[in-house]
Structures are given as structure tokens and as C-alpha cells.
């Protein structure tokens, strides 16, 4: 009986999360500089933050100033530009965890 409950729970979780993971994976991918520039023109996002990883790549967060959608991009040392994540709302936090712009 316990095994059936675990199997049912696993199936329900998979049914819930699979569409979410699938949607993110459809957005994910790697680009050349030229194809990435075309994508940025379409989504109308501008760079808002960047950082150098200890692993040697640069991560940049882009944001659309109109609708606050955002894209996290990883620039790899081999020249690939890969999407790490996307979202539909963003806000800039200035000065610390209690202050918001």
C-alpha cells in the first residue's frame, strides 16, 4: 500500500512539474553572438547586471524595461552564449535587502 502511495505521489508531481521544466527547456539553448543579438532585438531587453564567475564565465541579467521580463545569460569562454533562465517579472534592489527601487 505504501509503495502505491509513493508511486501515485511521484506520478502527480511529475505531471505537475514536467510542463514547467519543458517550458524552460524550450527557452533554453546556446547562441552565436549574431543569433543572440537578433534575439535581444526581438525581446527588447537590455543588460542590467553582470558578474564574473569563479568558473570563468560571465553571467548577465537582461531586462525589458517596459514589461519587466528578464533573461539570465551565460557567456562561456569558448564563445557560446547560453540561456540560464527566463522570467516574467523583475525589480532592481539597491542598497541592501530591505530597499527596493
Domain boundaries, given as residue ranges, for the chain: 30-87
Mean pLDDT of the chain: 77
Q: Which long-range contacts (CB under 8 A, 24 or more apart) does 82-88 make?
A: 82/28, 82/29, 82/30, 82/31, 83/27, 83/28, 83/29, 83/30, 83/31, 84/28, 84/59, 85/24, 86/24, 86/27
Local confidence band at 93 (pLDDT 50, 70, 90 cut-offs): confident
pLDDT in tens, 48-57: 999 999 999 9
59 vs 92, residue with greater confidence = 59
| Model pTM score | 0.65
Amino acid at each position: 500500500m505504501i509503495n502505491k502511495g509513493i508511486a501515485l505521489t511521484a506520478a502527480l508531481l511529475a505531471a505537475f512539474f514536467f510542463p514547467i521544466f519543458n517550458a524552460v527547456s524550450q527557452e533554453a539553448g546556446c547562441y552565436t553572438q549574431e543569433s543572440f543579438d537578433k534575439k535581444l532585438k526581438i525581446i527588447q531587453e537590455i543588460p542590467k547586471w553582470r558578474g564574473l564567475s569563479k568558473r570563468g564565465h560571465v553571467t548577465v541579467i537582461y531586462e525589458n524595461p517596459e514589461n519587466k521580463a528578464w533573461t539570465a545569460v551565460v557567456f562561456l569562454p569558448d564563445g557560446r552564449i547560453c540561456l540560464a533562465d527566463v522570467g516574467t517579472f523583475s525589480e532592481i534592489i539597491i542598497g541592501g535587502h530591505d530597499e527596493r527601487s
